[in-house]
């Protein structure tokens, strides 16, 4: 038996025998170099449900404090548009801005996590792809994966619907719900022998139950009639088989919601050719990344839709597709609508419906009535032109919201 699998057997024992994270980390660090390279304790603690304690949310003078992480690429410039629109609309939000880029250290990342834990809410831009590690030889871990796992943001939710822009498909209105902390994103990889890499796909019943209940509760709350599980259980019979079996079992608790399933490759084909048959899609982590990009692509591109990451205690808002878009960074042509829409969802989440409705109306009027659009959706306007028009439409509202 290899050192890796000896470690995994002992690892299961350690997880069962103690709740103390420090024991597990010390145990892993004492093992072979192979194991030390495949698991980064900064990023991924356990394949079981990570219990996160809630702390008191920060709120001062009646204004909600929200963590803002602009990130890299087009993140800083589109996040600046969020600041401008929120200020103009008089939204009762104070932003705690924390910058993370390629030069940021693990300590900077921990400061960002502490801020989100304190505030409970965050809006993030496009994070740097790699996580700086302090130990030589450990593979770098994407910061966005680290953030989701550290905060136990177990579900990602994206609502995509047809929009009156030239590149958008018609009569589409679907919700993509993905498990957000495990699957292929568990980051458990190792090299057994030179030139042979093994990557572990972690699917747990407990985490699947959580995301399945979220999907069915979402369907009830938003009066949707069907939930479809996307899987590859015909090939990955144990991992995807567990995901499918668990969602079927949870579906029995919701007799008013229709449940069916589809193989992931068939689903991708249907999304391009006949997507009207889907209402809510629920799936493991990697499939969610692929399908959300396909759907956003056929609906008009990455600059239009927002996504939300939910945990038991925290919510993190972002663009639906996690694209850095470095090729257009700093050129004042990035589409700010996705990040402004994330801001709208943030205000809705906090209960500021007047402000969220006003900004949503202003965005729709700017893009679809005034036809002030950035080049990615067939226009010639700049990023700042779009924001300026949104503010103008907010100011035209009567009665004013501030």
pLDDT, mean over the chain: 83
Q: By C-alpha distance, which of 309, 359, 340 is closest to 91? A: 359
Taking Cα atoms as reference points, which of 378, 4, 397 lies closest to residue 164? 378
Is the predicted pLDDT of residue 24 greater than 60, yes or no?
A: no
Q: Pick the more confident residue, 90 or 33.
A: 90
pLDDT greater than 90 at residue 95: yes
* Rounded percentage of the chain residues whose pLDDT exceeds 70: 79
What's phi and psi for 61, nearest 5 deg? Answer: 60, 30
Helices and strands (H, E) in the chain, number of each type: 13, 13
382 pLDDT above the threshold of 70: yes
Torsion of CA 258, 264, 265, 271, to 10 degrees: 50
Q: Cα(85)–Cα(107) distance, rounded to whole angstroms?
A: 31
| 37, 98, 130 from 109: Cα distances, Å | 21, 9, 12
Q: What is the pLDDT of residues 194-210, one digit of tens each?
A: 999 999 999 999 999 99
Q: What is the pLDDT of residues 138-188, one digit of tens each?
A: 556 778 888 998 999 999 999 998 887 766 677 788 999 999 999 988 878
Alpha helices in 255-328 (DSSP H): 264-273, 285-298
User: What are the residue ranges of CATH 3.40.718.10 in the chain?
Assistant: 169-298
pTM for the structure as a whole: 0.82
Between residues 119 and 41, which one has the greater pLDDT?
Answer: 119
What residues have CB less than 8 Å from 246, skipping those under 6 apart?
205, 208, 209, 212
Residue 359 has pLDDT above 90, yes or no: yes
Q: What does the DSSP 8-state code read for residue 65? A: E
Query: Which is more confidently placed, 117 or 135?
Result: 117
Burial of 62 (0-12, 13-18, 19+ CB in 10 A): exposed
Stronger pLDDT, 129 or 115, i.e. the higher one: 115
Q: Specify the CATH class of 169-298 in words.
A: alpha beta
Sign of the alpha-carbon dihedral angle for 154, 159, 247, 241: negative
pLDDT recorded at residue 130: 57
Q: What is the pLDDT of residues 286-338, one digit of tens each?
A: 999 999 999 988 888 888 999 999 999 999 999 998 777 778 888 999 999 99
Strand partners, 230: 262
Q: What are 217-226's pLDDT values in tens digits?
A: 999 999 999 9
CA distance from start to end of the chain: 68
Instruction: Please tell me the distance from the alpha carbon of residue 127 to that of residue 99, in angstroms, as a whole number.
Output: 10
CB 2 within 8 A of CB 192: yes
Residue 142 φ/ψ, nearest 5 degrees:
-60, 140
Would you state the pLDDT for residue 6? Answer: 43
How does pLDDT run across 41-88, given as a tens digit for each residue?
Answer: 333 444 445 556 665 566 666 789 999 999 888 999 999 999 999 999
Tokens of 82: 């969020």
Let me know if 167 is exposed, middle or buried by CB neighbors in 10 A (0-12, 13-18, 19+).
middle
CB 331 within 8 A of CB 325: no
- State both tokens at 301: 């591109």
Question: What pLDDT does residue 168 have?
Answer: 62
DSSP-derived pairing of the beta strands 63-71 and 258-263: unpaired
Q: How confident is the model at residue 1 (pLDDT cuts 50, 70, 90)?
A: very low
């Amino acid at each position: 038996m290899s050192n890796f699998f000896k470690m995994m057997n002992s690892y299961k024992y350690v997880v069962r025998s103690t709740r103390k994270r420090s024991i597990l980390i010390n145990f892993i660090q004492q093992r072979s170099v192979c194991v030390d390279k495949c698991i980064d304790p900064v990023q991924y603690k356990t394949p079981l449900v990570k219990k996160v304690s809630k702390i008191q949310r920060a709120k001062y003078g009646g204004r909600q404090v929200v963590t803002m992480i602009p990130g890299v690429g087009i993140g800083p410039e589109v996040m600046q548009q969020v600041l401008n629109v929120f200020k103009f609309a008089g939204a009762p939000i104070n932003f705690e801005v924390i910058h993370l880029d390629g030069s940021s250290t693990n300590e900077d990342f921990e400061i960002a996590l502490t801020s989100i834990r304190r505030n409970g809410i965050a809006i993030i831009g496009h994070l740097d792809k790699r996580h700086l590690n302090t130990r030589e030889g450990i593979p770098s871990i994407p910061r966005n994966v680290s953030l989701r796992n550290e905060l136990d943001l177990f579900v990602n939710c994206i609502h995509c619907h047809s929009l009156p822009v030239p590149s958008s498909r018609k009569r589409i209105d679907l919700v993509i719900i993905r498990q957000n902390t495990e699957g292929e994103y568990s980051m458990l990889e190792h090299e057994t022998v030179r030139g042979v890499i093994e990557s572990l796909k972690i699917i747990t019943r407990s985490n699947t139950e959580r995301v399945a209940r979220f999907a069915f509760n979402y369907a009830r709350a938003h009066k949707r009639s069907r939930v479809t599980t996307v899987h590859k259980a015909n090939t990955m019979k144990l991992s995807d088989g567990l995901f499918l079996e668990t969602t079927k079992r949870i579906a029995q608790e919701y007799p008013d919601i229709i449940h069916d399933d589809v193989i992931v490759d068939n689903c991708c084909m249907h999304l391009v050719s006949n997507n009207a048959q889907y209402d809510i899609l629920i799936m493991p982590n990697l499939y969610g990344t692929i399908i959300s990009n396909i759907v956003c692509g056929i609906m008009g591109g990455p600059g239009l839709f927002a996504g939300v990451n939910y945990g038991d205690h925290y919510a993190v808002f972002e663009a639906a597709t996690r694209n850095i878009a470095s090729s257009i960074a700093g050129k004042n042509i990035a589409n700010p609508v996705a990040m402004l829409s994330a801001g709208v969802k943030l205000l809705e989440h906090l209960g500021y419906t007047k402000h969220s409705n006003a900004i949503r109306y202003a965005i729709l009027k700017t893009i679809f009535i005034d036809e002030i659009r950035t080049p990615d959706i067939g226009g010639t306007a700049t990023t700042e032109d779009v924001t300026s028009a949104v503010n103008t439409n907010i100011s035209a509202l009567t009665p004013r919201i501030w």
